[in-house]
Amino acid sequence: MAIVNRGFVGRRDRMADRLPPGQYSTLDFPVLSAEPTPALPHDKWRLTIQSSDHRAHSLDWPQFTALPHEDVTTDIHCVTRWSKFDTRWRGVSFDDLLATLPWQPDDFVMAHCYGGYTTNVPLDDLTGGKAWLADTFDGEPLAPEHGGPVRLLVPHLYFWKSAKWVRRLRFMPSDTPGFWEERGYHIYGDPWREQRYA
């Protein structure tokens, strides 16, 4: 018979409250991509931001790197069930990016990437300090296999929403599914509600 002192309930994992349902934590940073990794030198990279009425605003690499950058430490959660705690990024907040636009944005964004990948995100999930365009990971320029030179970082949603190799952000008046959403993934992708699939 086991002896248990009164009031002893076991040791709680101090990270358990940071791990969404169905996830496991890892120290690795697995590389998963829908498309082959593109080779994108900085002088060839360009970000175009497009309104729903086809106005466009573009930034080249010097213009992007001149924007205010922030350091971000956050947990990330992949739909394939791994989570990585305390990842360190640096990038431009979506709020600062919006401040460069000469028009009012619509309520949804489709991220288009070099290689053809797309994913949709509501604007409310990109603003208010919730998303960045990251160009640095763990103190180093973002490696191509992790989405460099620039990827979207939306850490409160499953990581497929943090599109790699971003080249265009298209604003839309209504939500439209992207690459994985058209193939059965959830339209929104909240890891805390296990919104993996439609």
The whole-number mean pLDDT for each consecutive block of 10 residues of the chain, a chain of 198 residues, reads 38 70 94 84 96 94 97 98 97 96 94 96 98 98 96 98 98 97 98 96
**Quick one: tokens of 166?**
């971003």
Q: Could you tell me where the DSSP H helices lie in the chain?
A: 61-66, 94-98, 179-182
Whether residue 111 is contained in a domain is answered as yes
Q: In total, how many domains does the chain have?
A: 1
Closest residue by Cα to residue 110 from 99, 89, 126: 126
Whether residue 37 is contained in a domain is answered as no
pTM of the model: 0.90
**pLDDT score recorded for residue 33:** 80
**pLDDT score recorded for residue 6:** 43
If you write DSSP's letter for every residue of 65-95 in order, what string do you get? HHS--EEEEEEEE-TTSEEEEEEEEEEEEHH
Whether residue 143 is contained in a domain is answered as yes
Whether residue 158 is contained in a domain is answered as yes
83: CATH: 3.90.420.10
**pLDDT score recorded for residue 136:** 98
**CA dist 127 → 121, 144, 170 (Å):** 11, 25, 15
Whether residue 22 is contained in a domain is answered as no
Residues 53, 102: contact at Cβ < 8 Å? no
Domain that holds residue 111: 44-50+57-193
Whether residue 138 is contained in a domain is answered as yes
